[in-house]
Structure 1
């Protein structure tokens, strides 16, 4: 009886233990089923539609600007060559003058006296030379009649030569005096515009003092510097095409484009030490006299880039100075891709880091993340690059 009771009790305990083991297993299965159901719902979520753009290699003419130094085609400092007082000023500041026109008159009394003295000495030398010639003629007759010896005639001829050399010296002195007198009248060296006049009537000027500047701005030179790589690129293009002539634009300090195009004429002979740059010179017509000597501006050139890609700026993002885009693979999954911009061009980055046919997210980069699957919507090229016409 006890044995049967023990068996019955043991059987009851075994059944309890079996139930205790089965309950957690069932609970775990229910949790896994719930998790699988939740995962299934996420897997069945439809990919979001995102605009993309398919990249194509293209050739682009990119403008590039260089800060330039603008100078007049002719610029001369008018300085006094002699000392004197300013007796008269014939022109005003900013006035247009012609070559040879009088600008200033310095006091000339002293120089007039020097000229008069030189003229007197010249007259004296000529008189003495004439007397020496008469003496030679007289002695020549006497020698022919054997009245005197020929040595006296030779001595007279020597005195005549001295008198003639005195004439040459007197003429030279007169020319120097006349030149000094001419320096008291300052004339315009060429057609141009008068700059500031620091000395007024009655001022004492010395040799070398700056009286004014004359500038000819009918044309202007714009000097800008390029590095060695840009110089080599230009020279190679010029060697391949000897008739290469580029029309360059000038952007004035107010941002306006100068209406007349310029021609690249020449360059410096050497590279600057330290900077490794070399200066090019561009000639611009200036018929309206708009540009003045010493003005500032920028020379704009055009650089043709072949086989490059234009990446819209709104399709990019930056992390620690690196530029990124979202690349879409063949399975429509998003992948983060870095690239190196060569330069900006309007609302685009220029780069050569991609392949023909690569697809990138065009808009909505905030909605996607790396590894995410999307539904790509191809954006028409005309919509992507419509701003290029405004660059």
Structure 2
């Protein structure tokens, strides 16, 4: 049978074991706390804006026209007897293109010549009468008034001769209109009427255009015009380029020749005209393209587009504070290039911005920046 003393001894032993266990547990907890260290900051590539001179081209939609393009219209009426050129054919100055029936115009010329001969005969008789009356006046056989009447008759007859000459010239000119000739070297376009068609005066026969140098017409805003007017190189060959409808660049550069003197009230734009060589005859009248005005932004602040993202329609970047903490910053962009932005507000050249990892970093996060020069990560 266990005595009371044995029970006390057993309880004392249990308390000692429990106390030792508690001390060991506390010691263990203390050791765990000193062993836990804060996680290291993640490393992300960062870069900074660079100040540089940026070449760029401002694009304007342009309509292309040949330097010579006209419509050929009939100047007399009649039946189209002959078409001497085909569509798309290259013709030379003075080459016969169309022949309109000319019988009635030939008759007009004959009648006009007949009236001219009659007027000349009357003038000759009036001249003879004046000479005779002059002899009679010298002998005082007739009065001065009779001589003056014969002089007036001669003047009237000579006036009728001049009128007849004008009629002959007009008839011959209308006869010449029956033959339609090329006014300059060029290409014949679509022929509207075929042989045998009845042509009225003023009807469109075809159009002709030369395929040499071309004009490109484009519009610029008033603000852009004021900037362009300051430039002195626009009139120099090579100051503008032409992008064709297929996206290719025309191999020959051009220049600005002139611009209008009035700004449109309805659009606020002013029209410019550029000229481009066309030795390969590739550019056609009525084509479209884009005129590219080459210029250079001095001391522009440039960052990679890869650094940017949009927040509520604003362009933003993740910038670093001096303590390497991330902060969201809105920037203003002045010009978008192929892989870069030219910015005008929100950053300084000394600011560091996140280049990679903008999808995973968070504002306020502290990182270990791995600085990369712009020329290394996003060469211009």
User: What TM-score, normalized to structure 2?
Assistant: 0.87
Q: Which residue of 1 aligns with 2:3?
A: none
> What's the offset of the Cα at 1:274?
2.3
> What's the offset of the Cα at 1:253?
0.4
Aligned partner of residue 212 in structure 2, secondary structure: strand
Q: Which residue of 76, 80, 86 maps to 1:82? A: 76
Aligned partner of residue 372 in structure 1, secondary structure: coil
- In structure 2, the CA distance between the partners of 1:146 and 1:64, relative to structure 1 (3 Å rule), is closer
Whether 1:229 aligns to 2:223 is yes
Further displaced range: 344-353 or 195-204: 344-353
Asked if 2 retains the 8 angstrom alpha-carbon contact of 1:307 and 1:352, the reply is: no
Aligned residues: 352
Q: Which residue of 2 aligns with 1:359?
A: 352
Q: Which residue of 1 aligns with 2:286?
A: 294
Whether 1:275 aligns to 2:267 is yes
Q: Distance in 2 between matches of 1:166 and 1:69?
A: 54
Whether 1:190 aligns to 2:192 is no
- In structure 2, the CA distance between the partners of 1:245 and 1:355, relative to structure 1 (3 Å rule), is farther
Aligned partner of residue 50 in structure 2, secondary structure: coil
> What's the offset of the Cα at 1:237?
2.8
Q: Distance in 2 between matches of 1:378 and 1:237?
A: 39
> What's the offset of the Cα at 1:380?
3.3
Q: Distance in 1 between matches of 2:41 and 2:350?
A: 22
User: What TM-score, normalized to structure 1?
Assistant: 0.85
Q: Is there any run of 5+ residues in structure 2 with no aligned partner, and where? A: 1-21
Q: Is there any run of 5+ residues in structure 1 with no aligned partner, and where? A: 1-25
Q: Which residue of 1 aligns with 2:332?
A: 340
Q: Which residue of 1 aligns with 2:119?
A: 125
Aligned partner of residue 61 in structure 1, secondary structure: strand
Asked if 2 retains the 8 angstrom alpha-carbon contact of 1:246 and 1:264, the reply is: no
Cα deviation 1:86-126 (Å, max 9, x = unaligned): 11111111111122221111111111111100100100111
Aligned partner of residue 53 in structure 2, secondary structure: strand
Query: What is the aligned-residue RMSD (CA, Å)?
Result: 2.2
Whether 1:258 aligns to 2:253 is no
Q: Distance in 2 between matches of 1:275 and 1:303?
A: 25
- In structure 2, the CA distance between the partners of 1:243 and 1:273, relative to structure 1 (3 Å rule), is closer
- In structure 2, the CA distance between the partners of 1:51 and 1:169, relative to structure 1 (3 Å rule), is same
Aligned partner of residue 174 in structure 1, secondary structure: helix
Whether 1:138 aligns to 2:135 is no
